[in-house]
Amino acid sequence: MTTPTQAETAREQVVVLGLPDAPPAEALGGKAARLDEMIRSGLPVPPAFCLTTGLFERFLRDGGLAADIEGAEPAKLRERILASEIPEEIASAVLDAYGDLGRPRVAVRSSASREDSASHSFAGQHDTVLDIAGDEALLDAVKVCWASLWSERASAYRSAAGAGSIAVVVQRMVHADAGGVLFTRDPISGRADRFVVEACWGLGEGLVAGKVASDFFLIDPDGARVVERKVRYKVTKCAPLEPGSVGLVKVDAAARNAPCLTDAQLAGLAELAVRVRDHYGADQDIEWASRDGEPYLLQARPITTA
Confidence check: pLDDT of 171 > 50: yes
pTM of the complete model = 0.89
- What confidence score (pLDDT) does residue 127 get? 82
C-alpha 6/C-alpha 216 separation (Å) is 51
| Cβ atoms within 10 Å of 271's Cβ, excluding its own | 12
Output the CATH code of domain 178-302.
3.30.470.20
Q: Which range among 27-36, 53-62, 109-118 shows the weakest confidence by mean pLDDT? A: 109-118
Find the mean pLDDT for residues 44-48.
98
Find the mean pLDDT for residues 34-56.
97
Domain boundaries, the chain: 11-172, 178-302
The tens digit of pLDDT for each residue in 101-146 reads 999 999 999 998 755 544 444 444 458 899 999 999 999 999 999 9
Percent of the chain predicted with pLDDT > 70: 89
The tens digit of pLDDT for each residue in 238-259 reads 999 988 889 999 999 999 999 9
C-alpha 51/C-alpha 12 separation (Å) is 9
**Beta-carbon-side half-sphere exposure of residue 179 (alpha carbons within 13 Å):** 24
Return mean pLDDT, the chain.
90
- What confidence score (pLDDT) does residue 285 get? 97
Percent of the chain predicted with pLDDT > 90: 78
Is 163 or 192 the better-scoring residue by pLDDT?
192
Confidence check: pLDDT of 162 > 50: no
Confidence check: pLDDT of 161 > 50: no
Output the CATH code of domain 11-172.
3.30.1490.20
- What confidence score (pLDDT) does residue 7 get? 58
The tens digit of pLDDT for each residue in 72-90 reads 788 888 999 999 999 999 9
Find the mean pLDDT for residues 216-223.
96
